[in-house]
């Protein structure tokens, strides 16, 4: 059997984090999304893994090369993205009898794999009180049909993890183009369900669809509550660590710093003096959080600097960013209403009362910059001192 991971998409809804990386390499708790999938596969003896890459796909291939913890990995490149069915057809070149097919932007626990491996043809089902954004699985034990985006629905939805015998490719070949001109894999599954039994594997473990940047904050919170870790860095005197605090090798926590767990801090960081790190914060490797800074429920990725009198709340800061002294990120509307964000030209409700900003990689701010709630800042942007920023800031902008 072969595992086939679909990781070719551009992930436009995750902009600006996908300015510089494919979506599967976005980290959750300092580990790329796709790596959780790889770990799940090798944990249960899957030795052959193929990854379909496209947008920024070389970064996936360069990171994992051709071997991962005893499993062999190879790569296929999808030059034109013409739908999920077209993506799955790339696996037909292999001669394996059975395929474990996985969307490369999901987080799920390893036991989901175990449940699927018991069957020849099966779809992972996830129960949702609001099933309207997903494909609703019609049927009880066996699938009758996948109905996409049924309004006001609840029930078991398509979890994006499948196991199929190679005859699934025959049904993909029979699929007609969708109204948006794509070959939909769910259409092939529906055709197969009319002629063969497809098991609905109902899974009640942790499963996360990382669709928008703020979903990373939800995922971080969940993982931080479950993670096992230790303090491996240097903690100076007059530092307070409360609750579960994970500190990587080579990290220095300086005097006067107060950290409330759960918090995860990577390797070779410098934190403090007199910094305040609040619960559900994830800090990557080689990060500097400096004097009198407060970080609350945020993600600070590798190599970024938040060094002087900064506040970052409910936000995501990409790699190698630098916040000038006094840069503040607001995370609460004055009227305390749910924060809405523009994504791909549409206004999307985050359903979060508190949500700050999302910065792509290599963003620099001058001193005393103010960033409003729900602001999205493209990579390689520079913001001059004293500026107030809100809304959408295009990649590579210069703001004065």
What is the CB-side half-sphere exposure of residue 334 using CA atoms within 13 A? Answer: 1
Domains defined for the chain, CATH in brackets: 2-211 (3.90.550.10), 217-399 (2.160.10.10)
- How far CA 143 is from CA of 111, 198, 380, in Å, comes to 21, 5, 47
Spatial contact of 357 and 378, defined as CB atoms under 8 Å apart: no
Q: Which helix (H) or strand (E) holds 397?
A: none
Q: What is the pLDDT of residue 35?
A: 96
Q: In which element (H, E) is residue 189 found?
A: helix 185-193
C-alpha distance from residue 67 to each of 46, 62, 354 (Å): 12, 11, 41
The answer to whether the beta carbons of residues 234 and 272 sit under 8 Å apart is no
Q: Is 36 exposed, middle or buried (0-12, 13-18, 19+ CB in 10 A)?
A: buried
Gyration radius of the chain over CA positions: 22
Q: For the stretch 6-25, what's the b/e string if a residue is b when 16 or more beta carbons lie within 10 angstroms of its beta carbon?
A: bbbbebebbbbbbbbbbbbb
Q: What is the reported pTM?
A: 0.94
| Local confidence pLDDT in tens for the 400 residues of the chain | 999 999 998 899 999 999 999 999 999 999 999 999 999 999 999 999 999 999 999 999 999 989 999 999 999 999 888 889 999 999 999 999 999 999 999 999 889 999 999 999 999 999 999 999 999 999 999 999 999 989 989 999 999 999 999 999 999 999 988 888 889 999 999 999 999 999 999 999 999 989 999 999 999 999 999 988 899 999 999 999 999 999 999 999 999 999 999 999 999 999 999 999 999 999 999 999 999 999 999 999 999 999 999 999 999 999 999 999 999 999 999 999 999 999 988 999 999 999 999 999 999 999 999 999 999 999 999 999 999 999 999 999 999 9
3-state secondary structure at position 210: coil
Distance CA 86, CA 353 (A): 39
The order of strands in the sheet holding 281-283 is: 245-247, 263-265, 281-283, 299-300, 316-317, 357-359, 375-377, 392-393
> What residues pair up with 388 in beta bridges, in sequence order?
370
What pLDDT does residue 320 have?
98
Report in angstroms the alpha-carbon separations of 398 from 186, 381, 391.
43, 6, 15
Rounded CA gap, 50 and 92, in Å?
11
Would you state the pLDDT for residue 180? 82
Half-sphere exposure of 146 (CA within 13 A, CB side): 26
Under a CB-based contact definition with an 8 Å cutoff, are residues 278 and 295 in contact?
A: yes
Helix, strand or coil, per DSSP, at residue 151: coil
With residue 180 as reference, give the H or E element that holds it. none
Q: Measuring CA to CA, how many Å separate 255 from each of 236, 240, 265?
A: 6, 9, 16
Distance CA 257, CA 305 (A): 16
Neighbour count for residue 281 (Cβ, 10 Å): 25
Residue that has been written with the tokens 């996908």 in this structure = 18
């Amino acid at each position: 059997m072969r595992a086939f991971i679909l990781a070719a998409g551009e992930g436009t809804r995750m902009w600006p984090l996908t300015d510089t990386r494919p979506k599967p390499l976005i980290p959750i708790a300092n580990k790329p999304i796709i790596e959780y999938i790889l770990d799940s596969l090798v944990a249960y003896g899957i030795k052959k893994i193929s990854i379909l890459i496209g947008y920024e796909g070389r970064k996936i291939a360069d990171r994992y090369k051709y071997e991962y913890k005893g499993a062999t990995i190879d790569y296929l490149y999808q030059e034109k993205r013409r739908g999920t069915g077209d993506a799955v057809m790339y696996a037909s070149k292999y001669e394996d009898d059975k395929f474990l097919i996985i969307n490369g932007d999901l987080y799920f626990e390893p036991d989901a794999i175990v449940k699927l491996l018991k069957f020849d043809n099966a779809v992972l089902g996830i129960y949702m009180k609001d099933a309207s954004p997903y494909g609703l699985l019609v049927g009880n034990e066996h699938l009758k049909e996948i109905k996409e985006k049924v309004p006001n629905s609840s029930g078991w939805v398509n979890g994006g993890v499948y196991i199929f015998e190679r005859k699934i490719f025959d049904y993909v070949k029979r699929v007609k183009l969708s109204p948006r001109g794509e070959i939909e894999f769910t259409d092939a599954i529906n055709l197969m369900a009319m002629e063969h039994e497809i098991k609905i594997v109902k899974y009640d473990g942790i499963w996360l669809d990382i669709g928008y940047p703020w979903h990373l904050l939800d995922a971080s919170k969940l993982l931080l509550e479950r993670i096992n870790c230790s303090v491996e860095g240097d903690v100076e005197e007059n530092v307070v660590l409360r609750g579960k605090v994970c500190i990587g090798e080579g990290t220095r926590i300086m005097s006067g710093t107060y950290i409330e767990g759960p918090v995860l801090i990577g390797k070779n960081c410098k934190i403090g003096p007199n910094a305040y790190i609040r619960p559900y914060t994830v800090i990557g490797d080689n990060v500097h959080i400096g004097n009198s800074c407060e970080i609350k429920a945020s993600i600070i990725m590798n190599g970024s600097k938040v060094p002087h009198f900064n506040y970052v709340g409910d936000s995501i800061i990409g790699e190698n960013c630098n916040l000038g002294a006094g840069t503040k990120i607001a995370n609460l509307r004055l009227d305390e209403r749910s924060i809405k964000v523009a994504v791909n030209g549409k206004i999307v409700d985050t359903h979060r009362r508190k949500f700050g900003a999302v910065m792509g990689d290599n963003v620099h701010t001058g001193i005393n910059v103010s960033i409003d709630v729900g602001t999205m800042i493209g990579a390689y942007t520079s913001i001059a001192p004293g500026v107030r920023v809100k809304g959408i800031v295009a990649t590579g902008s210069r703001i004065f």
